[in-house]
Structure 1
């Protein structure tokens, strides 16, 4: 048997797992970790009578790994080595190594948290940090801690944050293994920013075929770019014997196998692949990699509650993984379609999926596990709070969780299907209505690329896709009605898988008029109400619009199954019409009847109405009887809170009282706060009792604001207010002058200078703590001096001011000693 680099470190790895339960293996590409590690542990004493589970991030990788390991043992898949993935399992009674996709591990843990017949769980290619891998590890670690102290966990990757992962695994030892790769030359070949990716990729392929030997692997972000690049190459003149092989997740298994298999002698293979070929797979014969530097990822928007697909640059780690594909079997070359300067700006690692994804399914799995709070589990990166909360809220809306966040029987049934909770809910509701065949077809359609191409694909009506599928089925696969035949075959296969899961019979041809109703079960937050000109308000509160000219734009109600999240209004990509009676009959539990008292700005008064509402959608609205006095008061309070305190009649008396109270609050914290924010916050308490019988802004002008404010003070405080913050002060001339508390920190007394003769010190407020700010005026009441220290003014400044005043007002009395002079409020001196 061929010796792989991994065999050099397997003895160390065996010793570690013989004495401890967790280990980490960092093995470079080509080391043989995926195929060489699992069989090495079959004969370990602690593995007696137990199986090994190895997780692979993708179906193709899982199937390929199982096939290769089995071949190295001289067996077929299903004997010692098998695989298990959704709707495709090959295991037998003697199977001891089971390669599974990550979602399968979650299902196994949910059905048997002890993993009783498992001795070792291997997480392969963990650096990809898929959501299911993070969840599977969190659940496995808790099962190990609580139920299975003997369960072994091995994390394997080519690149990994070993310190963080080791810490998560309780200080697990790390084993490093060199790879067996050949040198790869890197050629940076940047393309113009405006160039179409498929044209640039096709040019690079033709260059590689001319310059390099062997097969070519091209990394493209998604299926759309793969198909376009394939068409570009098919239209070009390629060397004799060149074959084009697409490779992406939704491709039928036979086509995927053809892409991975060695080329026929005399042929050169060009594999056009997504990130599916980045790790785990060795595609025989590849000597050249062409990397566009892009990947497609689904990003969840907490703002809208909707996921969206984004094309983003790869990380440096991903670029290195892709580059390494060219050196697995011989020296190779990697053409990177970006500059070396751009490479330095790439992120070091991809963002873990748990930080960007829709977390609804994660929330459902944790609820089934019995831990609705993710903080109770060990995570490398904890689920972000906002998208997790939105996922839990959606689950409550779907009936999967009760008000306390606990799983319901319906939620358990949803989780057992393994589909996204929206899809699972639709399948179960459809089954309950006897419409399981249509629900299964819709579920498959929603998870497959769009069936319709060309002009037909511009129509967003999902019913057209259902009818194309039914036509395809009636014709036994001969007539796709212009739809994509390969996609139709995939949808038909997936819909049959869903039927098998539900244990439902195909029945008669389904009624496509139920499409909208079934979709509304999956997307209760995306029931749309027509606004006009293709625009709809969704029940979740977002606006969305169709492209102009869509037949569905005339529908009163639709359900938006696919919506992008670009700009202030999302664009509806797929939808179906929802009948009003269907909506009222099947969503009655979510329809709310409410009486609302509201402020009508136009009339400046409180009005009342009755509403029938589904989420943000107003299904019916009527005015009802005149609101009661209590309702009117509540409406006025809401209006004041919205419009601000300025709508109240702040005449001189109430305004001064409020300012005096603010002055006292600045001195004593136990005094009521009458600032804008405090009064608005406590409107109902201090103003509510005075609103009885009032219904409009005009009525508010009768409010006794002074009395309302005084009621905030007890008897003792009222007495203190008069003593320490009086409205007026009597000055030496005998005049009783008002105090301006407009600035509560520095109350102002405006007084003619002559009226203060004989007053040595500044008058004080607040029990002697705060001097007033004196605005000393001329006989014509013009400000001459501002001071809060009258004694200093008499000593230092008065004589300068006196010269000026004596020149301007010669008939007035300006004594040399103001402290001995007689104060006067008259315009002429006393004789």
Structure 2
């Protein structure tokens, strides 16, 4: 071979993927796109790009999901050519770029690729793009693929596109890109699976928390692996905190312990990908699942956990969550032990648990905060993402929430189109929320300090820095750990990007990943950033002041956090308890934060089943800063409501769900008062009114008429009365102002309004449903309508002379015949039958006890 291919070392041509490169080139020549299915270790990341550059005139871009993988791939390809990085092979990641005019293969992160596509949709000078590790389904990779397919269909049909995957589940990718699947056989050696669950139950992961007992078990399993097996040990853990804890328990073993994660220094990441002189234990996050081969590894210890983004769209809480890995991810991890020879994987869970794991990881688009994606789509010209070729469409609710956030930030207009401000936010290279905070805080706290705090918020802080953002800032300034250099680099990058955007009056310059500038006009502040200027707040150490230099560190940290997350500005409502502007309850575990009146929450999570979010990082702010940063939530209104058992009428000023001030209303709107009283009635029932005995009896008579006569006679059940309350309460309700006024309303008078006066039936109500019935003995006895049938209860002697049973609405009344002492003697609804058959027994029983009372032989004739 000639050209680049001819300069590749023999080790490269011996890689398994070399055998399918002709088929891949043929597919690209015929259809312009293909899916390359090649297991880890076959050379898809390192050999294929070099041969693509040899076959096509133009630069080849290789997109990797992680910076560590991008740098490592570039170094490996450069080694295959016998060159330093930056000549034939270069790389560009956020904050670092090594390319030259001779560069034919450039490895970039997917985030960098997105920025480049937005700046130059045609990708001038690029012959082919290889999207690596597509199976991981990172959102940036899915988005970049959609944009590239759009470019191929409209602008660059000659652009070759390769979707590279380490799995064989490639049918969907093939249909998406419109090209065939080219599969390479792997050289993976056998990997023995050993199940190593903890001997005692451990708590499942919750939010970011991992049971320390599980970490102790993982450390013990690593020690067992060192004793029982040969070769280096690669241990998968969910995050840097867990890696540090396990590393702390592995001292004194006589091996090198490397901590490999996205926050690790580049030197540590590079060392992990180079052979070690001594035996090694590599404690790694998921970054080591599918990047280049880690030499020397023959044993994998898998905790079975990973970190994934999760978004609670209803509460605006986005954070990383610790989750169980999928079976596909577990296989990827296990494969690391078989790259160079037979290996072993020790899984820290049971075989039964393994069968219950999800088959594949969920795509990030289904789980994550979609605000960055929505901004990319808006800049691309498709705000609703309806025309983007995506394997999985964005969830409608999540996308709607993201678009609403962009509108609040001023990044898009009412129609969803990107604004000039939106392009400026995107050009800063951080989440749109953080970009907004950087842009709007810089004039008040200074560009350098705004950039430093924004850099703190751009990735997970070390847990040792604590929950107070200002304290973490001071810690980072003097720290010598692995986090501090990366933070300083990002701070400088953000300050440079900010400076470039403000390079000319009235204009902003969007700095690109390569250091060139693209010009875009500026358009001022975002809606919701406050009315007028953001005022300086007082810090806890007493420092205060005006724009730029007047903010103390505490106030500056608070301002940046509040501008980034205005709906998470929170006010104290009890010891350690807060309520956020967005309505979410939050808890702070002790310390100075829990004593502050106002805080701006930067990081919080809310586990399943929890009512309150747990604050992980926040900054103290004062009320002035809270009002200005969350100004779009500020509202003043008159409130007339039923609360705590009475009408509350007040003038309210709120910041979202946070109440700022209240003043009682002297003359509230009468209609609003009426609605509040109706709300109280609906909530507490008609028992709020004055129900005399007469009112209660009238209601029962009306209920009987409705039940038996129907027609125009009204329903007076509780539900019906509440529904028609404005009608029957009439002027009494209109005159009421508070609970005590309701309690004075005579329900009897009010109920009369429901009678059918219009039909004339109301005038016959006393006749049809009499309140009392006259008996021959001279008594007028009250009828009891409380039961299913009317009841007339009186002493037996009162019925003497009555031949027939009284009737109401055509139905016989149930008679309760009482003894002279008022005790029940008999019950009947057929009085003639009683006189002829039952009376003699009652008479015989009672005459001896009540001899002074009459007991005639023929009571129906006795008057």
Q: TM-score, normalised by structure 2?
A: 0.75
Is the CA contact 2:578–2:586 (under 8 Å) kept in the aligned structure 1?
Answer: yes
Question: What displacement does 1:763 show?
Answer: 9.1
- Show CA shifts across 1:54-86 (max 9, x none): 321111111222232343345443344332322
Q: CA deviation at 1:777?
A: 6.4
Q: Distance in 1 between matches of 2:155 and 2:342?
A: 49
Q: Which residue of 2 aligns with 1:695?
A: 737
1:442 deviation in Å? Answer: 0.7
Does the 8 A contact of 2:567 with 2:630 survive in 1? no
Q: Report the counterpart of residue 258 of structure 2 in structure 1.
A: 245
> Could you report, residue by residue, the CA deviation over 1:88-112 in whole angstroms, capped at 9, with x for unpaired residues?
2233344443322122232233334
Q: Cα offset for 1:116?
A: 5.3
Cα distance, 1:799–1:593 mapped onto 2, change above 3 Å: closer
Q: 1:307 to 1:581 in 2, by over 3 A?
A: closer
Aligned partner of 2:587 in structure 1 is: 545
Q: State yes or no: 1:522 paired with 2:522.
A: no
Conserved in 1, the CA contact under 8 Å of 2:806 and 2:813?
A: no
**Rounded Cα–Cα distance in structure 1 between residues aligned with 2:355 and 2:485:** 43
Give the Å deviation of 1:314: 1.8
2:667 to 626, 639, 643: 626
Alignment check: 8 A CA contact 2:319 2:605 kept: yes
- 1:822 aligned partner: none
Q: Which residue of 1 aligns with 2:105?
A: 97
Report 1:241-280 matches (<5 A): 242-264=255-277, 267-280=278-291
Q: What's the offset of the Cα at 1:253?
A: 1.0
Unmatched 5+ residue regions in structure 1?
A: 471-479, 765-771, 787-793, 812-825
Matched, 1:124 2:120: no
Query: What are the residue-to-residue correspondences of 1:155-170 with 2, within 5 Å?
Result: 155-159=163-167, 161-169=169-177
- Distance in 2, matches of 1:41 and 1:680, equals 78
2:317 to 293, 300, 306: 306
- Cα 1:589/1:231, change in 2 over 3 Å: closer
- In structure 2, the residue matched to 1:67 is 75
TM-score by length of 1: 0.78
CA 828–156 in structure 1, closer or farther in 2 if over 3 Å, else same: farther
Match for 1:317 among 323, 328, 331?
328
Shift in Å at residue 259 of structure 1? 1.4
Match of 2:621 among 565, 573, 578: 578
Q: Which residue of 2 aligns with 1:791?
A: none
Q: Is the 8 A contact 1:451 1:484 kept in 2?
A: no
Instruction: Determine the C-alpha separation between the residues in 1 that align with 2:596 and 2:283.
Output: 41
- Is the 2:237–2:283 Cα contact (8 Å) retained in structure 1? yes
Report the alpha carbon displacement of residue 711 of structure 1 after superposing the two structures with TM: 9.2
Deviations 1:707-735 (A, max 9, x none): 9999999999x5899999x9659xxx999
Contact 2:441 2:559 in 1 (8 A): no
> Aligned residue for 1:503?
499
Q: Which residue of 2 aligns with 1:181?
A: 188
Give the counterpart of 1:226 among 223, 226, 243.
243
2:106 counterpart SS class: strand
CA offsets 1:768-821 (integer angstroms, 9 cap, x no match): xxxx9x8876878999899xxxxxxx9xxx99999986886899xxxxxxxxxx
> Partners of 2:480 and 2:181 in 1: how far apart?
49
3-state DSSP of counterpart to 2:606? coil
How far off is 1:414 after superposition? 1.5
Q: Per the alignment, in what secondary structure is the counterpart of residue 568 of structure 1?
A: coil
Contact 2:16 2:187 (8 Å CA) reproduced: yes
1:489 maps to: 485
For 2:190 and 2:233, locate their aligned partners in 1 and report how far apart those are by CA, in whole Å. 16
Secondary structure of 2:48's match?
Answer: helix
Paired with 1:648 and 1:404, the residues of 2 have a C-alpha distance of: 52
What is the CA-CA distance between 1:427 and the residue it aligns to? 0.4
Contact 2:434 2:458 in 1 (8 A): no
Give the counterpart of 2:641 among 598, 601, 615: 598
Q: Partner of 2:40 in structure 1?
A: 29
Helix, strand or coil for the counterpart of 2:860?
A: coil
1:683–1:325 Cα change, 3 Å: farther
- For the Cα contact (< 8 Å) 2:570–2:598, is it kept in 1? yes
Contact 1:784 1:801 in 2 (8 A): no
> Does the Cα contact within 8 Å between 1:663 and 1:741 map onto a contact in 2?
no
Q: Which moved more, 1:404-413 or 1:656-665?
A: 656-665
Residue 423 (structure 2) aligned to one of 402, 407, 412: 412
Query: Aligned to 1:828, what secondary structure does the other structure show?
Result: helix
Aligned to 2:578: 536
Deviations 1:682-714 (Å, cap 9, x if unpaired)?
877997887323212343367698999999999
Question: How far 1:553 sits from its partner (Å)?
Answer: 3.6
Deviations 1:303-345 (A, max 9, x none): 5322344333222111111111111122222222333333223
For residue 326 of structure 1, the aligned residue among 318, 333, 337 is 337
Aligned equivalents of 2:434, 2:36: Cα separation in 1:
37
Q: Could you tell me whether the CA contact under 8 Å between 1:359 and 1:387 is conserved in 2?
A: yes
Q: CA deviation at 1:649?
A: 6.5
CA distance in 2, matches of 1:672, 1:163: 68
Alignment of 1:362-761 (within 5 A): 362-374=373-385, 377-433=388-444, 435-450=446-461, 453=464, 457=465, 460-470=467-477, 480=478, 483-503=479-499, 511-512=552-553, 513-548=555-590, 550-566=591-607, 567-584=610-627, 587-588=630-631, 590-601=633-644, 604=646, 606-644=647-685, 646-647=687-688, 651=695, 655=699, 691-700=733-742
Separation of aligned partners in 2, 1:43 and 1:783: 113
Contact kept, 8 Å, 1:662 with 1:675, in 2: the verdict is no
Q: 1:638 Cα deviation (Å)? A: 3.3
Provide the C-alpha distance between the structure 1 equivalents of 2:262 and 2:246, rounded to a whole number of angstroms: 17
Structure 1 vs Structure 2 CA RMSD: 4.7
Q: Is the 1:449–1:487 contact (alpha carbons within 8 Å) kept by the matching residues of 2? A: no
- Does 2:224 match 1:207? yes
Give, in whole Å, the separation in 2 of the partners of 1:163 and 1:580: 56
Paired with 1:112 and 1:804, the residues of 2 have a C-alpha distance of 108
Q: Report the CA distance between 1:178 and its aligned residue.
A: 1.7
Change in Cα spacing, 1:48 to 1:707, as seen in structure 2 (3 Å) is farther
Contact 1:534 1:547 in 2 (8 A): yes
1:498 & 1:12 partners in 2: Cα distance?
44
Give SS of 1:155's match: strand
Unpaired segments ≥5 residues, structure 2: 1-9, 203-211, 504-547, 794-801, 819-823, 845-857
- Residue pair 2:256, 2:279 contacting (<8 A) in 1 also: yes
Contact 1:738 1:749 in 2 (8 A): no
Query: How far does residue 496 in structure 1 lie from its aligned partner after superposition?
Result: 0.7
Specify the SS of the correspondent of 1:103.
helix
| Larger deviation, residues 14-23 vs 342-351 | 14-23
- For residues 53 and 662 of structure 1, the distance between their equivalents in structure 2, rounded to whole angstroms, comes to 82
